[in-house]
Amino acid sequence: MGRKKISAYDAKTHLGQLLRDAQGGQAFLITRRGTPVARLEPVETEADTDLSAILDEFRKVRARVRAKLDVRGLIREGRRR
């Protein structure tokens, strides 16, 4: 969904409805006399994060790394510096 423009007056008058809409995924750009002054956006929650997609991306990156890495060795080396 795109960000919908709304005046500060309308935002104040309809705050309850705007909060429900934001909870449903709608974002708003609040303006004062046509000038943007604030954003009202949904908060990203853990439920919004698709962990399987993140893990798939990590696997793709890992597959591109050809060298055999010794993570513990790298940690030890970093501690010596």
* Percent of the chain's residues with pLDDT above 70: 93
Domain span holding position 72: 3-80
SS3 (DSSP) at 6: strand
Q: What is the mean pLDDT of residues 24-33?
A: 95
pLDDT of amino acid 1: 56
CATH number (domain holding residue 64): 3.40.1620.10
- Is residue 26 within 8 A of residue 42, CB to CB? The reply is yes
Count: domains in the chain: 1
